[in-house]
Amino acid sequence: MSLHDLLQSLLRPAFHLGQVPTSRAELLGFVTGAACVYLVVRQSIWNWPIGIANVSLLGLVFLEGGLYADAALQIVYLALQSYGWWAWLYGGRDRTRLVVTRTSRGEWGGLVAAGAAATALLTWALAVHTDSTVPFWDALTTAISLMATYGQCRKRLESWYLWITVDLIYIPLYAYKGLYLTGVLYVVFLSLCLLGLAAWRGDWRARRTAERA
The model's pLDDT over 2-26, given as tens digits with 9 standing for 90+, comes to 655 655 666 676 556 566 666 778 8
For the chain, give percent helix, strand, coil, nearest 5: 80, 5, 15
Report the distance separating Cα 56 and Cα 99, nearest Å.
27
For the cut 60, the answer to whether the pLDDT of residue 103 exceeds it is yes
Please say if the pLDDT value at position 162 is more than 70. yes
Domain contains 58: yes
Predicted local confidence at residue 14, as pLDDT: 57
Confidence of residue 1 (pLDDT cuts 50, 70, 90): low
Q: How large is the average pLDDT for residues 119-134?
A: 89
The DSSP call for residue 203 is H
Lowest mean pLDDT segment, chosen from 20-24, 138-142, 185-189: 20-24
- DSSP at 104: P
Taking residues 148-162, what's their average pLDDT? 95
- Do the domain assignments include residue 166? yes
Please report the sign of the dihedral spanned by the C-alpha atoms of residue 50, residue 138, residue 41, residue 200: positive
Number of domains in the chain: 1
Whole-number pLDDT of residue 188: 86
CA dist., res. 212 & res. 200, Å (int): 18
Residue 15 covered by a domain: no
Question: What residue numbers bound the domain in which 183 lies?
Answer: 24-89+106-153+160-212
What whole-number distance in Å separates Cα of residue 179 and Cα of residue 120?
25
pLDDT of residue 169: 94
* Average pLDDT estimate for 31-45: 91
The predicted structure's pLDDT at residue 7: 56
Average confidence score pLDDT of the chain: 86
8 Å CB contact between 164 and 8: no
Q: What percent of the chain has pLDDT over 70?
A: 89
33 contacts: CB under 8 Å, gap ≥ 6:
54, 58, 185, 188, 189
- Residue 11 covered by a domain: no
More confident residue, 8 or 180: 180
- pTM, two decimals, is 0.82
Answer yes or no: is 134 within a domain. yes
Looking at the domain assignment, is residue 18 inside a domain? Answer: no
